[in-house]
Structure 1
Amino acid sequence: MERRKFLRNVAGVAAASSIVPLTVSCKSFDGVAKEINKGNGNEEQWYQLGTGKKVPNPDRKEIVNYDVVVVGAGVAGISAAVAAARNGAKTVLINDRPVLGGNASSEIRVTLNGVNRLETGKAERETGIVEEIMLENRLYNPQESYPVWDHIVYDYVVREPNLTVMLNTQAIDAEMDGAKIISARCWQLTTETEFTVKGDVFIDCSGDGLMAAKAGALYRTGREGKEEFNETYAPDKPDGWQMGASILLQGKDYGRPMPYTPPTFVKKYDGDNAHHERKINNFLDGYWWVELGSDHDIIDVQEDNRHDLMGYLHGVWDYIKNSGKFPESENYALEWVGSLPGRRESRRFIGDHILSETDLTEHKHFDDAIGFGGWSLDEHNPGGILDIKERPSFFHQKFKTVYQVPFSSLYSKNIENLMFAGRNASLTHIALSSTRIQGTCALMGQATGTAATICVNKGITPREVKNKHIKQLQEMLMRDDVYIPKVVANDPKDLAKKASAIFGSSTKSGNAKNVINGISRDIDGEINHWMSDGLPATFQMEWNNPVKLSKVEIKCDTNLHKNITMRKQPLSEFLKKSFITTVPPELLKVLDLEVRVNGSWVKVGSKDRNIVRLIKFDFDQVKTTAIRIKMKETYGKDSVKLFEVRAYEA
């Protein structure tokens, strides 16, 4: 009998037998053997030594209420939950693992990539919440430790006052009222507690999307054929293939010979006959092409694939250590071995728009754009490591500039109050080959979390946000430092746009008025900054008539054309050109904010160790005719760039 059928039969027997109350023989507290009926769980079977009492076995159930419920705490889910909480919604973030970060966590260790390298050779890094986390990691984790990264992410999330985090908790079902989710039924492993989590808006960022599927949300799996969306790189006919999960390793040079004996579950790797792109050029970073997918139900075979992937991982390491072809590996040993594969693809839920290959390659303009992507069309080999003679990935096409991601691909077509962000969004298989990258997923997450607050405040659905309030959503996102290609910020409440004079103490490049042009980065060869000629420097805004101010927001420079993601190995000379391994030296570190009141300058804010691109000053409302930003120090550059300055009454 096949292993999977055997397991199903065993499960069936267990399920059938559980209908009849079980009777077992055991010793009582006085040592006398007794028959205890364990059928209904209400007997006083628990002897609490602290109280000296016999009590029923605990049956822990709780009902909790939130405005926004986010399921899955990968980078998409984190961004969704933080965005919702910051915009005033009472939010819960539910994660089935003990750490946050999903594929980027220490359990899996996938590099948190985004638009790392366009065809131009430059990055176009994602800003907003995902960049804030990565900047903190550069400051507080210079050793690039993945377990420390876990705690930096955890600290970033739990300090949000409107946000509750539930770890080791899986959303396993949904209670419905027609086409609306009322609550998610969740099981918390560590406390043996069943939670009923009620909410107004639900965002499934879990990747596999079990809760969304249980709610009845429409979804698809597999590869579309060429004809359905006119996709060049799709197969001629649709099939069930889904890109696989990978498992990683990390090696370490111990400075002495380190022999290796593989475990019994090893699966031999025939590296001599593998495609040349299955490169073994270092022993530090792991091999993403140790990958297994499925042509049917990839979730159903996950545990089988996990076991096999662990065997293939050790097979690759055995080939490195014991084939004799890599004598330079003599002093290397495994320092860390993954046990939880990182998934690329399973369910893709259906929204009002299914984002396709041509939407990306033709740079389609969407009126409801909420972010961008730009990773190449990177479709992995359908056979994974079972087809080692084939190249591991098909980089079908690179992009010269970024493309838009629409909001209509981030909410359910048939469930009224459900959104999704990440790899389970409304995408074709080929579009997913680019948008699955975690930086892009983070922008989707921030958009859904922000949209959820509009839904809560107005009592509307995500579809109504798209149809009636998309400009509000876009303005909120851009204010919170999300770049939306070809969309210019124009917040009517921003008093900076009404300034009568804008100037700096010196100018090396750009124009001072660029800070109110609504584009907060240099992109596609266009300059959208003002840059000082040296430090210290000042930047000033004047109004002909006094204005009331209580908030000033500044977007400074973090060199978005280079990567700051954490790496597991020393950078090659090639990568050193495109990576920053410290806090970006361009980032503004020390600055003061002053306002002019009755002809005198008054300091209303100061930053001594700024670590964000979007710098916010909140102060008691004042009536003023000018603001002055005094910039004293960066993290290494002798000049400073500003991309945007905003000013608000409240």
Structure 2
Amino acid sequence: MLLLNSGCGTKNKNSFESDIIIYGGTSAAITAAVQAKKMGKSVLVVSPDFHLGGLSSGGLGFTDTGDKSVIGGLAREFYHRIYLHYQKEDSWKWQKKEEYGNIGQGTPAIDGDERTMWIFEPHAAEQVFEDFIREYDIQVYRGEWLDRENGVSKSNGTIISIKTLSGKAFKGKMFIDATYEGDLMAAAGVSYHVGRESNDTYGEKWNGVQFGVFQHGHYFRDSISPFVIPGDPTSGLLPEISEEPIAPNGTADSKLQAYNFRMCLSKHPDNRLPFPKPENYDPSRYELLARVYASGWDETFDKFDPIPNLKTDTNNHGPFSTDYIGKNYAYPEASYEERKAIIKDHEDYQMGLMYFLANDPKVPEKVRQRISEYGLAKDEFIDNGHWPHQIYVRESRRMIGDYVMTEHDVLGDKTVPNPIGMGSYHLDSHNVQRLIGPNGYVQNEGDIGVKPKEPYSISYGTILPKKQECENLLVPVCVSSSHTAFGSIRMEPVFMILGQSSATAAVLAIDAKIAVQDLDYEKLKHRLKEDAQVMLLSERLK
């Protein structure tokens, strides 16, 4: 393995060198950078994003904690700092602290005993990430996009440097791809998968097509016609419905679970803005939702989850909601410009949906009246029209690496080798398709929710490429896992955990002058335990 000279330096104004180069601005990227600095290495963060923290600062404030007792290390430090933020009186501008309901996802929002807080506003999370950057003196290059065609220089299975579209070059001994898309991983020639594997691939039960499996409430419970004129196939399909035939259950495809934006809405009259009407607004796009309302459905506000200061983390809920089903399939492999168009399409759809809910006479009056109590929060995402700066990339590329996590690992049917952290959330896939069922009515497909009986370990091999493909890259977000296993792993606390573990491995591999695949696991485990990472059930926190 080729190792470079140590130290962080600059050869010219567009050439930068560091022990570790981290590509991405997600929560995993920041925890990785902090860990590298804590272990005495130089590190550069090369981020396409200007705002740091990914979804954790991009609207997902109602944290998918799962079992919080297995969240340790820097991830727990993040939630401790959130706790400290909300201990300050001036952090409660729009609501008194004692009026906040303290409701979290299966846990109190504010845990006084553990001095952690799991529910928060976007700007509070972003400030914690910025504090990390400032306190550890981490250099971040923002708005730097990897040249995906010619930007990765490799020699003998080792990345030497990466180049961004602005012409900057970043040279390092170790590289970490902490993006939601896995662009560095892909450009480095590492194997990956997009879409759902068949159940036969890994002997799973919940992979592939899952038509007629309803494990959440996000399906059509009544007989809703998919046609423009109800019951008349010759009139054509309503918008947002696919005409593709249904494949047998368990069949592989290249489709993805739906994306959306986790909106931060405000209920305070002095801190809310009316939902804007998109320039290309077309109410016919939401006719299917109108028919759902006409059938008697009444769950509009079930995922307007409360966060501090009379705000919400508003997520998808029901058969027709903020998830833009079937419109993200091209995203992982799309060019930057194509991705920008896909994101804009998602934004127009979701903004239009909120305008429809607030204004259209086909929406029940009681829904319109209540939705008028909400609006975009004036004090969030102020440089982006108060709209989240991060789309929820629930799944993109997934590496095929040294060890592939499957639902057997998550559900506890096998022992996971060489653990570096833990997960606990259920196998969670949002809907993948909206199509016509065998009965001639519209139905969603792909929504899965299977709960593990207990938290599970995540293997070191899941963040490692195959050695013959790359020896100095770690991938803590687009990890090596099946579609179903990724549905559990893909939570923000876990990404922070894996970010820290990836940096720990990178530092130890640099010190030993070896490939990351050759690292002595016992040394890695020892350091992770020193840094309060939880890797086994026996180590779980209170």
Q: Could you tell me the TM-score, scaled by structure 2's length?
A: 0.70
**Structure having the larger proportion of residues in helix:** 2
How far is 1:93 from its partner? Answer: 1.5
CA distance change for structure 1 residues 372 and 282 in 2, over 3 Å: closer, same or farther?
A: closer
2:513 aligned residue = 459
CA distance change for structure 1 residues 353 and 258 in 2, over 3 Å: closer, same or farther?
A: closer
CA distance change for structure 1 residues 255 and 70 in 2, over 3 Å: closer, same or farther?
A: closer
Structure 1 unaligned blocks of 5 or more: 1-59, 118-122, 188-192, 488-518, 523-650
1:397 aligned residue = 450
226-235 vs 303-312, greater mean Cα deviation: 303-312
Question: Among residues 139, 159, 169, which one is paired with 1:164 in the alignment?
Answer: 139
Cα contact 1:373–1:440 (8 A) shared by 2: yes
SS of aligned partner of 1:140: helix
- Matching of residue 116 in structure 1 with residue 66 in structure 2: yes
1:348 aligned residue = 398
Cα distance in 1 for partners of 2:330, 2:344 equals 18
The sequence identity of aligned pairs, in percent, is: 21
Question: Among residues 317, 327, 333, which one is paired with 2:375 in the alignment?
Answer: 333
Cα contact 1:233–1:396 (8 A) shared by 2: no
1:64-83 aligned at under 5 Å gives the runs: 64-83=16-35
Q: Deviations over 1:301-339 (max 9, x none)?
A: 533332222222223222321232422334433333335
Cα contact 1:223–1:242 (8 A) shared by 2: yes
CA distance change for structure 1 residues 114 and 368 in 2, over 3 Å: closer, same or farther?
A: farther
How far is 1:363 from its partner? Answer: 4.6
2:474 aligned residue = 419
How far is 1:137 from its partner? Answer: 2.0
Q: Deviations over 1:573-604 (max 9, x none)?
A: xxxxxxxxxxxxxxxxxxxxxxxxxxxxxxxx
Cα contact 1:220–1:349 (8 A) shared by 2: yes
CA distance change for structure 1 residues 274 and 345 in 2, over 3 Å: closer, same or farther?
A: farther
Cα distance in 1 for partners of 2:483, 2:501 equals 22
Q: Deviations over 1:106-130 (max 9, x none)?
A: xx3123634335xxxxx43511101
How far is 1:400 from its partner? Answer: 2.6
1:198-209 aligned at under 5 Å gives the runs: 198-209=171-182
- Matching of residue 374 in structure 1 with residue 424 in structure 2: yes
2:247 aligned residue = none
1:439-458 aligned at under 5 Å gives the runs: 439-458=493-512
- Matching of residue 280 in structure 1 with residue 301 in structure 2: yes
1:586-601 aligned at under 5 Å gives the runs: none
Cα distance in 2 for partners of 1:240, 1:249 equals 28
SS of aligned partner of 2:394: coil
Q: Which AA in structure 2 matches 1:314?
A: M
CA distance change for structure 1 residues 251 and 159 in 2, over 3 Å: closer, same or farther?
A: closer
Cα distance in 2 for partners of 1:416, 1:455 equals 10
CA distance change for structure 1 residues 258 and 93 in 2, over 3 Å: closer, same or farther?
A: closer
How far is 1:352 from its partner? Answer: 1.0
426-435 vs 81-90, greater mean Cα deviation: 81-90
Cα distance in 1 for partners of 2:456, 2:124 equals 33
Cα distance in 1 for partners of 2:470, 2:389 equals 35
1:134 aligned residue = 79
Q: Which AA in structure 1 matches 2:187?
A: K
- Matching of residue 63 in structure 1 with residue 15 in structure 2: yes
Cα distance in 2 for partners of 1:449, 1:384 equals 40
1:599 aligned residue = none
Cα contact 1:80–1:448 (8 A) shared by 2: yes
Question: Among residues 129, 141, 164, which one is paired with 1:153 in the alignment?
Answer: 129
Cα contact 2:282–2:352 (8 A) shared by 1: yes
Give the number of aligned pairs. Answer: 415
- Matching of residue 175 in structure 1 with residue 228 in structure 2: no
332-341 vs 219-228, greater mean Cα deviation: 332-341
Cα distance in 2 for partners of 1:209, 1:395 equals 24
Cα distance in 2 for partners of 1:199, 1:277 equals 55
SS of aligned partner of 1:396: strand
Cα distance in 1 for partners of 2:402, 2:267 equals 52
Cα distance in 2 for partners of 1:95, 1:385 equals 38
Q: Deviations over 1:495-523 (max 9, x none)?
A: xxxxxxxxxxxxxxxxxxxxxxxx4624x
1:179-190 aligned at under 5 Å gives the runs: 179-187=157-165
- Computing the radius of gyration from Cα coordinates, the structure with the larger value is 1
282-291 vs 430-439, greater mean Cα deviation: 282-291
- Matching of residue 365 in structure 1 with residue 415 in structure 2: yes
SS of aligned partner of 1:430: helix
Q: Deviations over 1:468-515 (max 9, x none)?
A: x1011111111101111156xxxxxxxxxxxxxxxxxxxxxxxxxxxx
How far is 1:262 from its partner? Answer: 2.2
2:461 aligned residue = 408
Cα contact 1:115–1:373 (8 A) shared by 2: no
Q: Which AA in structure 1 matches 2:63?
A: N
How far is 1:443 from its partner? Answer: 1.3
1:238 aligned residue = 252
CA distance change for structure 1 residues 427 and 224 in 2, over 3 Å: closer, same or farther?
A: same
Cα distance in 2 for partners of 1:282, 1:367 equals 37
Cα distance in 2 for partners of 1:259, 1:95 equals 32
Structure 2 unaligned blocks of 5 or more: 1-11, 93-119, 209-249, 305-311, 378-385
Q: Which AA in structure 1 matches 2:198?
A: G
CA distance change for structure 1 residues 213 and 149 in 2, over 3 Å: closer, same or farther?
A: same
Q: Deviations over 1:212-255 (max 9, x none)?
A: 21111111111100101011011222110112321233333355
CA distance change for structure 1 residues 278 and 392 in 2, over 3 Å: closer, same or farther?
A: farther
How far is 1:95 from its partner? Answer: 1.1
Cα contact 1:273–1:389 (8 A) shared by 2: no
Cα distance in 1 for partners of 2:188, 2:84 equals 42
How far is 1:401 from its partner? Answer: 1.2
How far is 1:73 from its partner? Answer: 2.2
Cα contact 1:266–1:315 (8 A) shared by 2: yes
Q: Deviations over 1:344-373 (max 9, x none)?
A: 111111211111111111353233111110
CA distance change for structure 1 residues 277 and 294 in 2, over 3 Å: closer, same or farther?
A: farther
CA distance change for structure 1 residues 393 and 79 in 2, over 3 Å: closer, same or farther?
A: farther
Q: Which AA in structure 2 matches 1:441?
A: F
Cα contact 1:137–1:149 (8 A) shared by 2: yes
Question: Among residues 321, 342, 356, which one is paired with 1:319 in the alignment?
Answer: 356
1:478 aligned residue = 529
CA distance change for structure 1 residues 308 and 452 in 2, over 3 Å: closer, same or farther?
A: same
2:110 aligned residue = none
330-339 vs 133-142, greater mean Cα deviation: 330-339
**Structure having the larger proportion of residues in strand:** 1
Q: Deviations over 1:23-68 (max 9, x none)?
A: xxxxxxxxxxxxxxxxxxxxxxxxxxxxxxxxxxxxx852111111
CA distance change for structure 1 residues 272 and 125 in 2, over 3 Å: closer, same or farther?
A: farther
Q: Which AA in structure 2 matches 1:113?
A: T
Relative contact order, higher structure (CA 8 A, sep 6+)? 2
Q: Which AA in structure 2 matches 1:241?
A: K
Q: Deviations over 1:534-559 (max 9, x none)?
A: xxxxxxxxxxxxxxxxxxxxxxxxxx
2:383 aligned residue = none
1:214 aligned residue = 187
1:310 aligned residue = 347
